[in-house]
Amino acid sequence: MPNKPQILFGKDVSLAIKADLKIRIAKLEAQGIKPGLAAVLVGEDPASQVYVRSKERQSAKLGFNSNVLRLAMETSQAELLQLVSQLNNDDLVHGILVQLPLPDHIDSQLIIESINPDKDVDGFHPVSVGRLVLGLDGFVSCTPAGILEIIRFYNIKTSGKHVVIVGRSNIVGKPLANLMLQKSELGNATVTLVHTRTPDMGYHTRQADIIVAAAGVPKFITADMVKEGAVVIDVGINRVDDSTRERGYRLVGDVDYEAVLGKVSAITPVPGGVGPMTIAMLLSNTVKAAENSLK
Ligand code: GUN
């Protein structure tokens, strides 16, 4: 029997990150700067509302100058562009976040590209993505950045390891692949990225020393897809109906957790794994933007 798997509590990592941020925030405050984060939410997508409320609560708790702009579903693209322009020009705002998805009548890419790259704390602007690909300093998308912090905290070796990432999204799969192949302490991995058009996905995932599941499908990674002793990072946050819960649903990851538990050497739980890291890294990016404003 393999040893008991290590559970990678992102929640604990996020607390350590926030404790470190407090020190940097105090230094900024001594120089008369309060990190300013503006979050824009258009419409009433339930999951987005939950995320934005959590971002609001956590940034306020760290003493940010935080502001959530809640706009009606019918807000026009021109109005949203105007608002972003206003935030770009507001010296009290160091970070701008436009919550995705946006309503269909708004071109998300156009909105992302209208954000000043110096305030792009989501790391979605082509300037941020380009800097990441080139290995230059910049804002890195929060979920991939958070995964790297979990890897750092638990001292998981990546150099020379085979990392298989399931999912090619602009928010997770693509930036994470770039981070992990970087010539850096938490990189130097051999990276395979598989997606919906990959035949025999299990063939690839079974080769992985580290599997990152970002498919957006509940329990997509089954035990037969995982090599004995692999490290499994589960990015999924899927709502599945559960009448035994008061709110009517529960959260499950992209990994069949119970089934793979007996095979893996380490795994992130859902909830309490990757999830809490996303907001922690957003806060971290905002502190970095505030620090950069002094340069
Ligand atoms: N929607 C899902 N994840 C994210 C995120 O990290 N940032 C924003 N702005 N929207 C999202």
Domain contains 4:
no
Which among 40, 49, 34, 36 has a CA at the least distance from the CA of 68?
Answer: 40
Residue of the nearest CA to atom 2 in ligand 1? 100
CATH number at residue 233: 3.40.50.720
Angle at 277 between CA 170 and CA 124, to 5 degrees: 25
Domain contains 213:
yes
Give percent helix, percent strand, percent coil of the chain, each to the nearest 5. Answer: 40, 15, 45
Res. 108: pLDDT tops 60: yes
Region 266-293: mean pLDDT is: 98
Res. 25: pLDDT tops 70: yes
Q: Measured between alpha carbons, how far is 230 from 207 in angstroms, rounded to an integer?
A: 9
Give me ligand 1 centre to Cα 121, in Å: 11
Please work out whether the CB of residue 100 comes within 6 Å of at least one atom of ligand 1.
yes
Q: What is the pLDDT of residue 2?
A: 56
Residue of the nearest CA to atom 11 in ligand 1? 100
Give me ligand 1 centre to Cα 202, in Å: 28
Name the band, by pLDDT with cuts 50, 70 and 90, for residue 3. Answer: confident
Please work out whether the CB of residue 122 comes within 6 Å of at least one atom of ligand 1.
yes
* Both structure tokens of 93: 């705002």
Give me ligand 1 centre to Cα 52, in Å: 9
pLDDT in tens, 172-184: 999 999 999 999 9
Q: Measured between alpha carbons, how far is 255 from 270 in angstroms, rounded to an integer?
A: 9
Region 231-251: mean pLDDT is: 96
Q: Are residues 112 and 144 in the same domain?
A: no
Res. 155: pLDDT tops 90: yes
* Both structure tokens of 165: 């990432």
% of the chain with per-residue pLDDT over 90: 99
Residue 39 CA: distances (Å) to CA of 66, 194, 274, 275, 282 = 8, 32, 21, 18, 11
Please work out whether the CB of residue 171 comes within 6 Å of at least one atom of ligand 1.
yes
Q: Measured between alpha carbons, how far is 113 from 92 in angstroms, rounded to an integer?
A: 21
Provide the mean pLDDT of the chain: 97
Res. 1: pLDDT tops 90: no
Q: Are residues 171 and 238 in the same domain?
A: yes
Domain contains 123:
no
Total of domains in the chain: 2
Please work out whether the CB of residue 178 comes within 6 Å of at least one atom of ligand 1.
no
Counts for the chain of helices (H) and strands (E), in that order? 10, 11
Residue of the nearest CA to atom 9 in ligand 1? 99
pLDDT in tens, 204-219: 999 999 999 999 999 9
Instruction: Please state which of the ranges 2-11, 27-36, 196-205, 232-241 shows the lowest mean pLDDT.
Output: 2-11
Has 99 been annotated as catalytic?
A: yes
Has 55 been annotated as catalytic?
A: yes
Cis check: omega of the bond before 2, within 30 degrees of 0: no
Which among 118, 99, 110, 125 has a CA at the least distance from the CA of 278?
Answer: 99
Q: What is the domain range of residue 71?
A: 32-116
Has 263 been annotated as catalytic?
A: no
Q: Measured between alpha carbons, how far is 11 from 216 in angstroms, rounded to an integer?
A: 21
Name the band, by pLDDT with cuts 50, 70 and 90, for residue 230. Answer: very high
Q: Are residues 147 and 268 in the same domain?
A: yes
